[in-house]
Amino acid sequence: MSPRRKSRVVWSLAAIAIGLIFAGAGLWLIDRPDLWLWLITGTVFVLTGAVGLAIGDNAPQISWASIVGAELIVLYTLTPVVYLVSLSLKGGNADVNQGGFLPHDPGFTNYETVFEFSLFQHALFNSFGISIISTSISVVLATFAAYAVARLRFRGKKLVLSVALAIAMFPVVALVGPLFDMWRAIGIYDTWIGLIIPYLSFTLPMSIWVLSAFFREIPWEMEQAAEVDGATAWQAFRKVIVPLAAPGVFTAAIITFFFAWNDFVFGISLSSTERSIPVPASLAFFTGASQFDQPIAAIAAASVVVTIPIFVIVLLFQRKIVSGLTSGAVKG
Amino acid sequence: MAQAMTDTEAPPGVPATAPPPVRNRRRRPAPYLLLVPALATLLLGLGYPLVRQVAMSFQEFGLAQQFGTADPGWIGFDNYVEILSDPTTWAVIARSVVFCFAAASLTLVIGMGVALLMRSISTVARLILQVSMLAAWATPLIASLTVWNWLFDTRYGVVNWLLVKIGFEGMEGYSWLANPWTFFLVAGVIVVWMSVPFVAFSLYAALTQVPEETLEAAQLDGASRTQRFRHIIVPTIRPVLSIVMLLQIVWDLRVFAQIKYLQGAGGTVSETNLLGTYLYQLGIAQSEYGVASAVAMVMLLLTLGLTFGYVRSLLREERAS
């Protein structure tokens, strides 16, 4: 064991010990109102130690400052997420109003409330349907267009790309009004298709940009090389090109799905009833158990329910997303 | 879907032995056929609204015209003159630009930091960092607004509670949203929180392309960490850096939902309007459709002006490749 490594291990173990002491003290003095602060401090120390232990020896340049920086970032990104879950588990108005980070009277009542709310059930169904349909159509259309932009030479290519970019820049709010009027006039207000079309319009430009950058990087000659080696044309395409193109297509799909699933502005303006209202817009209609109840805990529970599918998708395909961005984002 | 693509354009039976330009001479309509579905969808969803926006910005268009009791008259640039001679508009523009640059640069700095970190830490630590980034990214807009607003709540907010606990007694019952400065602080914290993951992942992806050998060689030659960053890392990831910057400026300039939500939760509308909410207030709340359209056009021009440099360099790259 090199001296450098030895000192790192010693310091890491010390950090873990200090962290455990903090957390232990916090838990031991459980009636202290600032228990939360003690636990966080303890966690930061333990994590610092753990990161110190986990660091590979081939990454010697990492400093303690950057480890603490990383932890602060994790704290910044995760605190709201954890708090959302905590809020959703709080039991009733009294618990919410008591303040504090953790629920005093934890339970699943909010989730029951949410699922008894029939608008929410419809909204879940609508959101899934609309997002999946938008994503599929958008990816197919963007693939066609991006293939043309990336591989073929034709007049007006720059125009197509500039227009796509300008559309991506246009303020979304400004288009809601005219769309509302138009959808009313042709009778697709408050329908799935009435939401799918705007979602497609706003995600296509972005998808075309991402995908065309991606397709440009694919070594298309490999297809011919495979055919020279005796593969049929279909095999060459299937075994060589599809695996190379998949991550890019996947990234575009994720971006589109996120947009459709998260959209609030169109949802609230172009739909009004359970026929087509998506989840984010439906949250605006939440009310508490009584008129004076704040629906905050119920909204938190609904938000958790909405976040779970995205989170699962993202976790499952984490590596693919990162690799898709890797190859798509870097040109030449 | 990728399969369908080839079926239409490049039938696998035709081995593409010739370089692309030659091949295209043979089948000229193909590129346009491939573009048609996407363009048709864009036209369907955006064609009419865009044309109408542009037209309305030159028209007298209010509630009366909306209900058809009066004809919209063409009034030339009157709407533009009206908004541009109104000091409110300039205040909103100034606020938006400052907010946009503050949020975008903060996002980029943090995102860059995270990306560099992800590169240098061990797999386990990186995984933790990535998962927490993904959690922030995956949280739906409305959910994160709810929770952030509640974190900064005047009476029950965790932030005030914590500040009081660690000794800032004056923060008891502090209303973050009532004061425009802290309003934008909160808005900035939320906007940055939502944008960092995308930036961090894109930049991390770009960083994986930086040649390790070059960095080592530079280090052996005595280049400092800053020098290596400036002269090796930044040039390599420049394409990604500029597209991410461009997107961030575009998104932060037209930020709407976050501001609207926070205004509803206790901000003073007149002091906290950014372009997006200003447009909404004029168009939807006051039914001044013509004026609102003019604001939208000004906003588009402003966006184009701010991003002109990036757009030009992006298109130049396009030509080069």
Within chain A, all domains assigned CATH 1.10.3720.10 are found at 112-326
- Report chain B's mean pLDDT, rounded to a whole number: 81
The answer to whether B266 contacts chain A (CB < 8 Å) is no
Average pLDDT over residues A38-42: 76
Q: How far, in Å, CA of B31 to CA of B24, rounded?
A: 9
What lies within 8 Å, CB to CB, of B226 at 6+ separation is none
Which one of B20, B131, B197 has the shortest CB-CB distance to A151?
Answer: B20
- The residue of chain B nearest to residue A280, with distances taken between CA atoms, is B142
Average pLDDT over residues B76-87: 90
The yes/no answer to whether this complex scores an ipTM above 0.90 is: no
3-class SS at B296? helix
- Cβ separation of B121 and A51 shorter than 8 Å? yes
Which one of B20, B148, B161 has the shortest CB-CB distance to A80?
Answer: B148
- Mean pLDDT is highest, among B10-14, B28-32, B285-289, for B285-289
CB < 8 Å from B in window 209-268 of A: 209, 216, 220, 223-224, 227, 232-234, 236-238, 241-242, 245-246, 249, 258, 261-262, 264-265
Q: Per-residue b/e over A283-313, b at no fewer than 16 CB within 10 Å?
A: beebebeeeeeebbbbbbbbbbbbbebbbeb
Check: CB of residue A129 under 8 Å from CB of residue A188.
Answer: no
What lies within 8 Å, CB to CB, of B251 at 6+ separation is B195
CB pairs under 8 A between A and B: 340
Which one of B143, B165, B289 has the shortest CB-CB distance to A177?
Answer: B289
* Residue B305 CA, distance from chain mean position: 15
Distance from CA of A293 to the nearest CA of B (A): 15
Average pLDDT over residues B306-311: 81
**Candidates 3.30.1240.10, 2.40.30.10, 1.10.3720.10, 3.40.1350.10; CATH matching A112-326:** 1.10.3720.10
Fold classification of B92-320 is: MetI-like fold (1.10.3720)
Check residue A27 and give its pLDDT.
66
Distance from CA of A46 to the nearest CA of B (A): 13
Q: Is the model more confident about B279 or about B138?
A: B279
The answer to whether A95 contacts chain B (CB < 8 Å) is no
Q: How far, in Å, CA of B207 to CA of A31, rounded?
A: 48
Check residue B106 and give its pLDDT.
94
Average pLDDT over residues A118-139: 91
Which DSSP symbol is given to B73? P
Is the pLDDT assigned to residue B16 strictly greater than 90? no
Is the pLDDT assigned to residue B239 strictly greater than 80? no
Average pLDDT over residues A229-237: 79
Is the pLDDT assigned to residue B149 strictly greater than 50? yes
Check residue B24 and give its pLDDT.
43
Residue of B46, B123, B216, B237 to mutate when probing chain A, most A C-beta within 10 A: B46
Average pLDDT over residues A47-61: 64
Contacts of residue A141 in chain B, CB cutoff 8 Å? 37-38, 41
Check residue A177 and give its pLDDT.
80
Q: What is the pLDDT of residues A246-280, one digit of tens each?
A: 777 887 888 788 888 888 888 888 888 888 999 88
Contacts of residue B35 in chain A, CB cutoff 8 Å? 144-145, 148-149, 160
Is the pLDDT assigned to residue B25 strictly greater than 50? no
- Cβ separation of B5 and A51 shorter than 8 Å? no
Average pLDDT over residues B128-154: 83
The answer to whether A159 contacts chain B (CB < 8 Å) is no
Residue of B65, B114, B124, B147 to mutate when probing chain A, most A C-beta within 10 A: B147
Is the pLDDT assigned to residue A124 strictly greater than 60? yes
- Cβ separation of A141 and B37 shorter than 8 Å? yes
Is the pLDDT assigned to residue A286 strictly greater than 50? yes
Is the pLDDT assigned to residue B22 strictly greater than 50? no
Check residue B100 and give its pLDDT.
95
Check residue A39 and give its pLDDT.
74
Q: Is the model more confident about A236 or about B101?
A: B101
Crossing angle of helices A64-89/A35-54, nearest 10°?
130
Q: What is the pLDDT of residues B172-226, one digit of tens each?
A: 888 888 899 999 999 999 999 999 988 888 888 778 777 888 888 888 888 888 8
Check residue B4 and give its pLDDT.
40
Is the pLDDT assigned to residue A171 strictly greater than 60? yes
Confidence of residue A160 (pLDDT cuts 50, 70, 90): confident
Q: How many CA atoms lie within 13 A of B2 on its CB side?
A: 19
Contacts of residue B206 in chain A, CB cutoff 8 Å? 326, 329-330
Is the pLDDT assigned to residue B17 strictly greater than 50? no
The pTM of this model reads 0.79
